[in-house]
Amino acid sequence: MEQIIILPIIIPLFFAVVMLLFWNKVHLHKYLNLISGLTSLIVSVIILSFTISYKIISLQVGGWVAPFGITVVSDLLSSVMVVITAIIGFSTALYSIGTIDNQREKYLYYPLLQFLLMGINGAFLTGDVFNLYVWFEVMLISSFVLLALGGRRGQLEGAIKYVTLNLLSSAIFLAAVGILYGIAGTLNIADLARKIPLIDQKELLSVVSILFMVAFGIKAAVFPLFFWLPASYHTPPVAVSAIFSGLLTKVGVYALIRFFTMIFTHDIGFTHTILLVSSALTMLTGVLGAAAQNDFRKILSFHIISQIGYMILGLALFSPLAIAGAIFYIIHHIIVKTNLFFVSGVVKRLKGSYLLNEVGGVYKYYPMLGLLFLIPALSLAGIPPLSGFWAKFVVIKAGLDLNQYLVVAVALIVGLLTLFSMTKIWNEVFWKDDPSGDNKNVNEMYESLTTTKKFMMYSPIVFLALITIIIGFYAEPFFTIANDAATQLLDSSLYINSVLGLK
């Protein structure tokens, strides 16, 4: 049973290597990518079911006993994140077949996508701080190439900003790892959770915690470290933007939740107050940035930032309900945000532009696309009974329980401004007439698509929209898993005992 938790890392690596062996058979890459996505999805669901049954599963790679070897761990938070990654990976595999051009396919788009998914899954499943750094670097290298693939000026400019700030984050991360090892003598997360409370150097621990906060804050696009995101996420093909928006920043959020619930809890009055202030400013700056944009993808990019603020708010409040709310919010947001980027890509194919003032009339002739936009858009804004309503409700309820009225007010205002942005997109893109005067005006690029490619574009949108509806109408089982995951994080004894083999 323990061996299966390494498969979410092995599967994308295996398929990426096979693609590289047949590097000139691009047509084969598409199907291998799809098979990999489907296989990973099936395996991830099995891992989640095992984790629910057995609580925590750990594997010591090579037989080395923890904390001396490489540890792979699947607790509820890890397994949930792996399932969501598999859902987005499979959806992106479908969408890529319908949208990625031949040039990018020829330059190994699909193997790079597999390497990216391998890095993401590795980050979620590792039980060691240094290996987390390694997986971050795997993600950074593959994401940088995906961002720059195509070589257009806007892409290269965005890629340079992206990689520069993320390399800075990696340098800070590595420095923090070294100091932490010097203090604790271990980098195994379970061992750290056991030893950190016994260390007397609390001031130095606080310094290290801030270094990790900055490193992960850059990855997560938290205020004031988010400027790289809106400068880069709108530049690559939509399939790349979608998987980036759904998953990459959430790896940073995951790391923050993992570290600041299990390791750095020695002075929550200091660390979590910083997170609380940062969460409010992240929400505000993100939503105000979105309100000022006129580009479909730029609006969505800024809203990634604002929604990250809600997740960090749940962590900062540091109650069981708040942590559960943060985890539930991650589940909801990954699905919704990826889907909105998918919809933006279809609009671009139809009308030839992302600029709101250059498009219009979509709903009149493509009402199904309009409805498929409304589901994730209204969910993002928190309209009941969709998934975003329950995610916001839980986080705000946790804030009210702790008398954090100011930050709750900010969260409510940001929700209204999010609705404003989604309404603006709806009015400009779907409801108003096409500026050209011909609502039937469709880009030649869309007309040239085969029926198969159109199906591949629409099917992941429908798939993710159904998941959003299911989470909204049947929120209780999803919240139960999120709540159990929060309980595991706040009481790390089960994690420690499982990984270290203690009784």
Handedness of CA 32, 37, 38, 43 (dihedral sign): positive
Give the burial class of 311: count Cβ atoms within 10 A of its Cβ; 0-12 exposed, 13-18 middle, 19 or more buried: buried
Q: Are 121 and 1 in contact (CB under 8 A)?
A: no
Written as one string, the DSSP assignment of 243-291 is: HIIIIIHHHHHHHHHHHHHHT--TTHHHHHHHHHHHHHHHHHHHHHHHH
pLDDT of residue 444: 62
Question: Measured over all CA atoms, what is the biggest interatomic distance in the chain, rounded to whole angstroms?
Answer: 73
pLDDT of residue 438: 59
Spacing of C-alpha 10 from chain mean position: 20
pLDDT of residue 503: 58
Mean pLDDT by 10 residues, the chain (503 residues): 90 95 88 95 95 88 81 94 96 91 86 95 94 93 87 77 87 94 92 91 91 94 86 86 91 95 91 95 94 91 94 95 96 95 91 86 88 95 93 95 95 94 93 73 64 88 96 94 94 89 70
Q: Please give the model's pTM, rounded to 2 decimal places.
A: 0.94
pLDDT of residue 26: 86
Rounded to a whole number of angstroms, the CA Rg of the chain reads 22
Q: Alpha helix locations (H) across 67-128?
A: 76-99, 102-106, 109-125
pLDDT of residue 414: 95
Residue at token pair 């011909």: 438
Domain that residue 245 falls in: 2-500
pLDDT of residue 102: 83
Q: Are 461 and 342 in contact (CB under 8 A)?
A: yes
Residue at token pair 């090579």: 62
Number of domains observed in the structure of the chain: 1
